[in-house]
Chains A and B, each alone.
Chain A
Amino acid sequence: ETGVTQTPRHLVMGMTNKKSLKCEQHLGHNAMYWYKQSAKKPLELMFVYNFKEQTENNSVPSRFSPECPNSSHLFLHLHTLQPEDSALYLCASSQEGLPIGAQYFGPGTRLLVL
């Protein structure tokens, strides 16, 4: 499955580090999403970008900063994270319009904050 790619696949960072997660979709979609997946919790939507405009910020702390330079690329900039931010971060994309299609996911970035 190469429609949505994410780099890096694994990341270990200290609480004072700054790092970025990258997502790229090759499906021609116009919407992109960031999700957080923690153990024993449902997937949590973090951000939505529709036609490069942020349309949803699901009460995410400011230490997570998204960027969407175009409809194919999405970044998640990380700074001064906490250990409880350790999780799998999933990117997804979809074609918005009617009828509503499915979201297609990337393989995720496994983040460990020390």
Chain B
Amino acid sequence: AQTVTQSQPEMSVQEAETVTLSCTYDTSESDYYLFWYKQPPSRQMILVIRQEAYKQQNATENRFSVNFQKAAKSFSLKISDSQLGDAAMYFCAYRSAKSEKLVFGKGTKLTVNP
């Protein structure tokens, strides 16, 4: 069974600085998709970024970028120029191309200090 591990339960960053959240996953498949979701205290889960495993190029969305290392099964999220509004729980998620099931990690709570 696929698993997703986020080894950092909590992280903090100073406003305007850069932070990297780590995620590793376990799978025997070659075709899959990876996601980062953000859940602020308001609870709405928001998509941050999506990566297709067959694409070597790392996905970016404005201040958010990923470091996708397929061989190492690693999918870290980098947040540049951190803002107070970035404070939230961040979840890494995996989905096989063969299944509708999205497998989530336990999350990393990010605090942004002014």
Contacts and interface: CB of A to CB of B under 8 A. Distances in A.
A48 B95 CA distance: 14
Contact of B46 (A1, A50, A58, A100): A1
Contacts of A55: 100
Given A42-B105, A43-B91, A102-B35, A50 B100 contact: yes
Bin the interface of chain B by size.
20 to 34
Interface in A86-109: 88, 90, 92, 94, 96, 98-108
Nearest to A49: B100
A56 B105 contact: no
Given A40-B106, A43-B91, A100-B33, A105 B45 contact: yes
B22 to A, nearest CB: 16
A90 B107 CA distance: 16
A92 B102 CA distance: 11
A24 B50 CA distance: 24
17 contacts: A33-B100, A40-B106, A42-B4, A42-B91, A42-B105, A45-B102, A48-B101, A50-B100, A56-B100, A88-B43, A99-B33, A100-B95, A100-B97, A102-B35, A104-B47, A106-B44, A107-B44
A68 interface: no
Interface of B: 4, 33, 35, 37, 42-47, 50, 52, 91, 95, 97, 100-107
Contacts of A92: 45
A97 to B, nearest CB: 11
Nearest to B9: A40
Contacts of A40: 106
Given A102-B35, A102-B50, A107 B101 contact: no
B45 A96 contact: no
Nearest to A109: B43
A31 interface: yes
Contact of B43 (A101, A102, A108): A108
A42 B106 contact: yes
Contacts of A45: 101-102
A43 B33 CA distance: 17
B35 A42 contact: no
